[in-house]
Structure 1
Amino acid sequence: MNKFQLEQNKAFKLANDLKQGGRANIGGTAAPKTDRREQRKLDQAKGLVPFACKLDEKLVSQLKERAESHEGGMTEVLAELLVAAGLQR
């Protein structure tokens, strides 16, 4: 492989990581991450079910702001808000 092919291969890997929603391996230090299958199994063991819906972008931006400061992330923020709205776990 020549230098061009090596750089092209790195670019493809970076683009794939970005498509998958992961963070690029910058500086050669990547945190160990679970693949999607493993994550699905872990979520199922916890009793979590994927649920998609469409929300107004202003509401989504407010949710993202809350999730950044919340240690449980978006899932926990949404769960807390739904419980506070009267739904039970």
Structure 2
Amino acid sequence: MNKFELEQNKAFKLANDLKQGGRARAGGAGAQKTDRREQRKLDQAKGLVPFACKLDDKLVKQLKERAEAHEGGMTEVLAELLVKAGLER
């Protein structure tokens, strides 16, 4: 592998990191506390199930603003809103 290919590889890695929201690579200074596999196991132990849906962008912006101010993040904000709407936990 020549120098050009090495630099190109670094550029691809950087571009991928930026696409992923700026998260640092494993082993980097700001590496994630848990990897995805560990997080999935922790979530399953809590009884959490992934659930995807499509929402209006204005609604998503409001949810993100609330989640930033909430210590539980997006998951807890959505759970609280659904309970307030009449669904049970």
**Corresponding letter in the other structure for 1:31:** A
List structure 1 segments (4+ residues) > 6 angstroms apart after TM superposition.
Answer: none
Unaligned ranges ≥5, structure 2: none
Alpha-carbon distance between aligned partners in 2 of 1:30 and 1:3, rounded to the nearest angstrom: 27
Tell me, yes or no, if structure 1 residue 16 matches structure 2 residue 16.
yes
Alpha-carbon distance between aligned partners in 2 of 1:5 and 1:16, rounded to the nearest angstrom: 16
Tell me, yes or no, if structure 1 residue 82 matches structure 2 residue 82.
yes
Task: Give the count of matched residue pairs.
Answer: 87
Tell me, yes or no, if structure 1 residue 43 matches structure 2 residue 43.
yes
Alpha-carbon distance between aligned partners in 2 of 1:14 and 1:36, rounded to the nearest angstrom: 20
User: What RMSD, in angstroms, separates the aligned Cα atoms of the two structures?
Assistant: 2.2
CA contact (8 A) 2:43 2:49 kept: yes
Q: Which residue of 2 aligns with 1:25?
A: 24
Unaligned ranges ≥5, structure 1: none
TM-score, normalised via structure 2 length:
0.79
* Identical-residue share of aligned pairs (%): 84
TM-score, normalised via structure 1 length:
0.79
Alpha-carbon distance between aligned partners in 2 of 1:2 and 1:68, rounded to the nearest angstrom: 44
